[in-house]
Every structure is written in C-alpha cells, then in structure tokens.
C-alpha cells in the first residue's frame, strides 16, 4: 500500500480508512436495525401504515447477506486501523486517564469479534428463513447482533470524540 | 417432499451444525484465549514484528498486540470442533440446541466485563 502514500499524506490515508470504517458501520447499523425491528415486531398486515410500520416491514432474508458482508469488511477495516489506534490513540487516552473509555472500547473489540464468529450461523438461519424451527434462534441472534452493532457504533463514536480526527 | 420434512431437513444439515458449533466455540475460546493469554502470535505494531505465541512488549519498541492472535487461536479451535460436530450422526446433531447461538454470547458478556475490571476505575 506504500505507493498510495506517494499521492496522499499518511494522515489522509488513515483518515480515509477511518471514515470508510465509520460509513460501513452506519450501513451495517441501518441494515441490522431494520432487520431486528422486522423480527421483533413484524407488521400484522401489509396494509398502509406510518413510518414505524414501513421501518419494520423490510424483508429480513434480503438483508442477511449484506449484513454479513458489511460486518466482515467493517471488521477488516477496524482491524487494520487498530494498529494505529494502539499506538497513536490508546496511549494518549491512557495518559489522560480515561480508563472507562478504554475499557468500553476493549469490550467493543471483544463483542464484534464474537459477532464475527456468529455470522456463518446467522447467515444459515436467514438462508433457511422459511424453516419455522429456526424462528426463535433467528430472531434472538439477529437482536443480539443488532445490540452488538449499536454498542460498537456508539463506543467508536465516543472514542473518536475523545481522540479521533484532527487530534 | 412433505412440508414437515422440508422444515426439518435444514436444521440438521452438516453446514448448519458446523456454523452453530463454530459460533458457540469461537465465542467461548475467544474469551478463554483473552483471559488465559493464549494468542497464536503476538504483533508488535511499532516495529511490525510478529512473535509466535505470547510475547511481552519489548523495551523501547512500543506495545504488543494479542487481539489478532486470540482471533487466530479461537478460529482454529472452533473450526476443528465445528468440523467434528458436523461429522456426528444426524440423530446427535439434531440435539444441539439452536438457542446456544445467542445464549452463549449473552452469558459471556458479564465474563468479558469482569475480564476488563482493570478499566472500571471510579
């Protein structure tokens, strides 16, 4: 990747990676939230409804592959950025003594990694969306992944506020 | 194929069993690797050095990172266990509760929070 640095600065390069990671997270958060709403409170009929009804009326199976791909790519970007975070972000935060912020971020890493390992089964459950035996596992696994994604997103946002772009 | 067969068949598919056991074991092994310091390798971002297994940070070379090594150890262990589970007879594979896929991560959450107790300073 060094050839890229002939055209842009090192800071610009890592900023682009970080923003891409954030944008992927936004897309993933949207997809998983729609899907979780659809399994948690499925609309009773296809009759016209308001915003909430439309929000939860998405076709869950159509989101599954996108969720898996977005999670994996966002994870790869996060893992890549993590090398720089460890030196240029975490150490200054340690020096400032923001321990709970660091702990929350560590928990985010753990949870997103566990979520990564659950993706093959999540995909399998949605691929067989017509199998009634999977309904409960599919519903709760989707909700767990959505909760992990929300936690990761908010924690990442907080860490970025503490020491992110431009710091 | 009857409707009953149609709905029951995928629940015991070999891939489904592999994916379920992989997900459960990956989560458990990851937490064990984290708490017992069992990375497959250690990465030193300051110098781009990779050491096998657990290696402490070297003086004047910046911090050591174990996260990638934990993922590698957990993925390897979970893959082996997943394949072994997929090879089990259908009758046994059907008995693995699907709910473990979400119950295990939820149950591991307090363990993870406890493992990070160093950071919860008030």
Ordered by start, the domain boundaries in chain B are 12-119
Q: Rounded to the nearest 10 degrees, what angle do helices B14-36 and B67-86 cross at? A: 150
What's the ipTM? 0.90
Please state, in angstroms and rounded to a whole number, the distance separating the CA atoms of residues B6 and A92: 57
The pLDDT of residue A54 is: 73
Residue ranges for chain B with pLDDT beneath 50: 1-11
Q: Quick count: other Cβ atoms within 10 Å of Cβ A137?
A: 23
Instruction: Read off the tokens for B29.
Output: 């092994």
Residue count of chain B, please give it: 122
- Least Cα distance to B102 among A43, A136, A1 occurs for A136
Residue count of chain A, please give it: 167
pTM for this model (two decimals): 0.90
* Interchain contact, A117 vs B74, CB within 8 Å: yes
Q: Rounded to the nearest 10 degrees, what angle do helices B100-115 and A135-163 cross at? A: 30
A111 touches chain B (CB under 8 A): yes
Q: Which residues of A touch B109 (CB under 8 A)?
A: 111
Instruction: Read off the tokens for B96.
Output: 């693995």
The pLDDT of residue A53 is: 76
Produce one character per residue of A38-77: b if its CB has 16 or more CB atoms within 10 Å, e if not: bbeeebeeeeeeeeeeeebebebbebbeebbbbbeebbeb
Query: Pick from B8, B34, B121: which is nearest to A110 by CB?
Result: B34
- Least Cα distance to A39 among A122, A95, A115 occurs for A122
- Least Cα distance to B18 among B85, B64, B76 occurs for B85
Q: For the purposes of burial, counting CB atoms within 10 Å of the CB of B121, is it exposed (0-12), middle (13-18) or buried (19 or more)?
A: exposed
- Give φ, ψ of B50 to 5 degrees: -120, 125
Which string of DSSP letters, residue by residue, matches A58-119? S-HHHHHHHHHHHHHHHHHHHHHHHHHIIIIIHHHHHHHT-HHHHHHHHHHHHHHHHHHHHH
The pLDDT of residue A41 is: 83
* Interchain contact, B20 vs A144, CB within 8 Å: no
- How many cross-chain Cβ pairs, A to B, lie less than 8 Å apart? 118
**How would you write the pLDDT of chain A (167 residues) with one tens digit per residue?**
778 888 898 889 988 999 999 999 999 999 999 999 999 887 776 556 777 777 777 777 889 999 999 999 999 999 999 999 998 889 999 998 999 999 999 999 999 999 999 999 999 999 998 889 999 999 999 999 999 999 999 999 999 888 876 66
Q: Which residues of B touch A90 (CB under 8 A)?
A: 63
Q: For the purposes of burial, counting CB atoms within 10 Å of the CB of B89, is it exposed (0-12), middle (13-18) or buried (19 or more)?
A: exposed
- Least Cα distance to B112 among B30, B3, B18 occurs for B30
Q: In which residue are the tokens 């970025």 written?
A: A160
DSSP state of B78: H
């Amino acid at each position: 990747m060094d050839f890229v640095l002939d055209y842009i600065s090192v800071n610009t390069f890592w900023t682009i990676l970080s923003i891409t990671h954030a944008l992927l997270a936004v897309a993933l958060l949207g997809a998983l939230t729609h899907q979780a709403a659809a399994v948690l409170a499925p609309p009773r009929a296809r009759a016209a409804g308001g915003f909430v009804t439309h929000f939860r009326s998405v076709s869950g199976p159509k989101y599954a592959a996108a969720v898996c791909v977005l999670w994996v790519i966002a994870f790869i970007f996060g893992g890549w950025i993590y090398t720089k975070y460890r030196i240029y972000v975490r150490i200054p935060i340690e020096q400032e003594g923001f321990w709970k912020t660091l702990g929350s971020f560590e928990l985010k890493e753990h949870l997103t990694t566990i979520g990564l390992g659950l993706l093959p089964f999540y995909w399998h459950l949605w691929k067989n969306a017509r199998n009634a035996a999977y309904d409960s596992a599919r519903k709760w696994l989707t909700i767990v992944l959505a909760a992990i994604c929300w936690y990761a997103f908010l924690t990442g946002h907080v860490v970025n506020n503490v020491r992110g772009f431009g710091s | 194929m009857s409707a009953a067969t149609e709905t029951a068949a995928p629940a015991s598919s070999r891939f489904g069993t592999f994916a379920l056991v992989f997900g459960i074991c990956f989560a458990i092994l990851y937490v064990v690797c984290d708490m017992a310091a069992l990375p497959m390798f250690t990465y030193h971002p300051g110098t781009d050095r990779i050491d096998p297994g657990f290696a402490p940070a070297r003086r004047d070379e910046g911090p050591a990172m174990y996260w990638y090594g934990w993922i590698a150890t957990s993925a390897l262990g979970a893959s082996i266990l997943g394949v072994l589970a997929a090879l089990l007879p259908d009758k046994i594979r059907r008995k693995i509760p699907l709910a473990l896929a979400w119950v295990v991560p939820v149950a591991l959450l307090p363990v993870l929070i406890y493992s990070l107790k160093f950071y919860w300073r008030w």
